[in-house]
Amino acid sequence: MSDRASGSTRADEARSNGGRNRRDIVVIGASAGGVETLMRVVARMPADFPAAVFVVLHLPATGKSFLPQILDRVGPLEVVQAVDGQPIEPGRIYVAPPDCHLLLENGNVSLGGGPKENGHRPAIDQLFRSAAVAYGPRVVGVVLSGVLDDGTAGLRAVRKERGIAVVQDPDDALYPAMPLNAIAGARPDHVVTADELPELLNDLTHSNVESDVRDFPDLTMESEYAELPPELPEAEPPGEASGFVCPECGGALWELQDGELTRFRCRVGHAYSAGSLLADHSESLEAALWTGYRALEERAAMARKLATRLNDRGQSRTAKRFEEQAKAAQKHGRTIREVLLGLEAMPEPAELEDRSKSPS
């Protein structure tokens, strides 16, 4: 395409001066509603966009992602699925593959198979954090439509390293929870609609950065977990022992207060925001209740079968005891069933709905 040819000319120019004085790294995170939003953004990107763009969309661990092909058709920039060790090229969009963290190193893409963050791999926070560590103020981080709050901690990391934080206007998002939480927890520099975002990104990537100095050792340590290094950091995770356990591996969780944001991480690297931890524990609780409900129903069925056999043999007194056990098991099962029905009717955690009522 001619548009892409002209885009590659600008990319060559950016590569020749190293891009060291400009914001040349854009990282974007999205979840539910993200495909539609990303299509709106990519369709309006200029053909001569001078930065490299990296996208994490929450995906199932199995199967193939067709997001690169979808986005490649709607806009002038080349869109590819990220490959481990791939050089970073300006004017290109890199999409995280399923079940791999998309990470940035100086000049290259890295794919990590490390622990999940907020229950996801790829995780938005991991992409943002690695970009902040590697590129500091040259990074623009963007949080789009989605549920819960993956991306908030990562956007805070971008801001700590003096990058620019951008969030989709919650009123413009199909699922506003992720933007709302990012506004409350990261206090972004810009809140815009998806249609306004390409022009803003173009302006930001043509502006200079004042300093490339960065030094946040906690970010570096947290970023290392995503690549599952042969040796985990010797130091314990930052923060204080929380008294909670990791839903993924059962290990102890450390609680880290990151400004107004509370986060948790276990020794092997699984990480959660408070909202994601509550959501995962809710899933574990529901699974345990279903297991209990199933066990009680099986106990009742087994007791009834034994009672029938004993009655057939004329052992009515023993059969009666089994019938009583069947009734007791059914009664307890009905109690658990009522609890399960109550769980289905529970509202979202108040923290996730109310944290950003006033984004001041």
Cβ–Cβ < 8 Å for 164, 52? no
Q: Which residues are catalytic?
A: 31, 58, 150
Q: Say what angle helices 177-186 and 152-160 make with each other, to 10 degrees.
A: 30
CA distance linking residue 23 with residue 50, whole number of Å:
9
DSSP output for 273-291: EHHHHHHHHHHHHHHHHHH
pLDDT at 35: 97
**DSSP at 28:** E
pLDDT at 157: 93
pLDDT at 129: 94
CA distance linking residue 186 with residue 175, whole number of Å:
18
pLDDT at 230: 58
pLDDT at 58: 94
234, 20, 227: which is closest to 105 by C-alpha? 227
**DSSP at 200:** H
Rg of the chain over all Cα atoms, to the nearest angstrom: 25
pLDDT at 353: 42
- Number of helices (H) and strands (E) in the chain: give both, helices first: 11, 13
The CATH number of domain 2-205, selected from 3.40.50.720, 3.40.50.180, 2.60.40.1180, 3.40.50.2300: 3.40.50.180
Q: How far is CA 223 from CA 131, 227, 232, 279, in A?
A: 9, 8, 11, 23
CA distance linking residue 101 with residue 119, whole number of Å:
12
Residue 62 token pair? 């199995």
User: Strands 101-105 and 108-112, how do they pair?
Assistant: antiparallel
Residue 148 token pair? 């819960």
Cα 319 to the center of its chain, rounded Å: 55
Per DSSP, helices labelled H in the chain are 2-16, 34-43, 67-74, 124-135, 152-160, 177-186, 197-205, 217-225, 274-312, 316-345, 350-354
Query: Per-residue confidence of the chain (360 residues) as pLDDT tens digits?
Result: 334 444 444 334 433 344 457 899 999 999 999 999 999 999 999 999 999 999 999 988 887 899 999 999 999 999 999 999 999 999 999 999 999 999 999 899 999 988 999 999 999 999 999 999 999 999 999 999 999 999 999 999 999 999 999 999 999 999 999 999 999 999 999 999 999 999 999 999 998 887 666 666 566 666 666 666 656 666 677 778 888 988 888 889 999 888 788 888 888 888 888 888 888 777 777 888 889 989 999 999 999 999 999 999 999 999 999 999 999 999 998 898 888 888 765 555 534 444 333 333
